[in-house]
């Protein structure tokens, strides 16, 4: 058991009703201009960029070392809206250390966790408040917001897992999610 360089424990406040981390150390923002190539309707995405490039999604984290043995955790908040009629979504990623899992506890909003595996399988798991989605090792994962309020989750995963955006920009996920005539359409 090492007795030097031990990290000091800490606590932090998370507002579970709002889905907000009150005192984050890191704040990642992605905008429509970061999402080129991910949506079907490129003209609609360009319009969002031209119309102010508003925040698309955000990640709030505490400063936990990105090392094996630690557990990274964050609040991920995806805005509601459509690109054309395709629901707002995160880029999605594999973990760089592929065989690392992740848990997502949905705190607010409505949507899906889209997951795809290297052997060609695809799963869309519903996300609603209080529902936990387990992303097993090796599955790429992406949040999709089908509702009218932010889709907010608490996520936790192995410290050194890393993010690999790999083939997703070119190949996407097998299923896209749209709202047409007020109904959710999966294609």
Question: Which residues contact Zn ion (rule: CB under 5 A)?
Answer: 102
Residues near ligand S6P (CB under 6 A), total: 13
8-state DSSP, 124: E
The rounded distance, in Å, linking the Cα atoms of 185 and 72 is 34
Taking CB under 6 A as the criterion, the residue among 76, 110, 145, 146 binding ligand S6P is 76
Interface with ligand S6P, residue 77, by CB under 6 A: no
In the bound complex, which residue of the shown chain has the CB atom lying closest to Zn ion?
102
Compare residues 91 and 131 and give the one whose CB is closer to ligand S6P: 91
Interface with ligand S6P, residue 157, by CB under 6 A: yes
Compare residues 27 and 47 and give the one whose CB is closer to ligand S6P: 27
Taking CB under 6 A as the criterion, the residue among 14, 24, 56, 90 binding ligand S6P is 90
Interface with ligand S6P, residue 155, by CB under 6 A: yes
Compare residues 22 and 96 and give the one whose CB is closer to ligand S6P: 96
Which of the residues 16 through 55 are near ligand S6P (CB under 6 A)? 30
Alpha-carbon separation of residue 126 from 11, 65, 133, 144 (angstroms) = 30, 31, 8, 9
Alpha helices in 32-141 (DSSP H): 42-50
Strands of the chain (E only): list them: 14-15, 20-21, 26-30, 57-61, 71-78, 82-83, 86-87, 102-108, 110-116, 122-128, 132-135, 140-145, 151-158, 177-180, 183-186
CB 164 within 8 A of CB 124: no
Binding site for ligand S6P (CB under 6 A): 30, 59, 74, 76, 90-93, 102, 143, 155, 157, 163
């Amino acid at each position: 058991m090492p007795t030097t360089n031990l990290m000091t424990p800490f606590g932090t406040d998370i507002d579970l009703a709002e889905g907000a981390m009150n005192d984050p150390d890191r704040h990642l923002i992605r905008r429509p201009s970061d999402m080129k190539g991910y949506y079907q309707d490129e003209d609609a995405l360009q319009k969002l960029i031209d119309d102010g490039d508003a925040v698309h999604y955000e990640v709030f984290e505490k400063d936990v070392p990105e090392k094996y043995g630690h557990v990274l955790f964050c609040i991920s908040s995806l805005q509601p809206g459509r690109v054309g009629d395709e629901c707002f979504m995160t880029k999605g990623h594999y973990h760089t250390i592929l065989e690392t899992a992740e848990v997502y506890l949905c705190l607010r909003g409505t949507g899906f966790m889209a997951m795809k595996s290297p052997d060609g399988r695809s799963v869309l798991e519903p996300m609603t408040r209080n529902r936990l989605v387990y992303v097993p090792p090796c599955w790429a994962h992406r949040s999709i917001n089908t509702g009218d309020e932010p889709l907010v989750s608490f996520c936790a995963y192995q410290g050194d897992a890393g993010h690999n955006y790999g083939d997703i920009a070119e190949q996407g996920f097998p299923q896209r999610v749209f709202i047409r005539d007020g109904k959710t359409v999966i294609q």
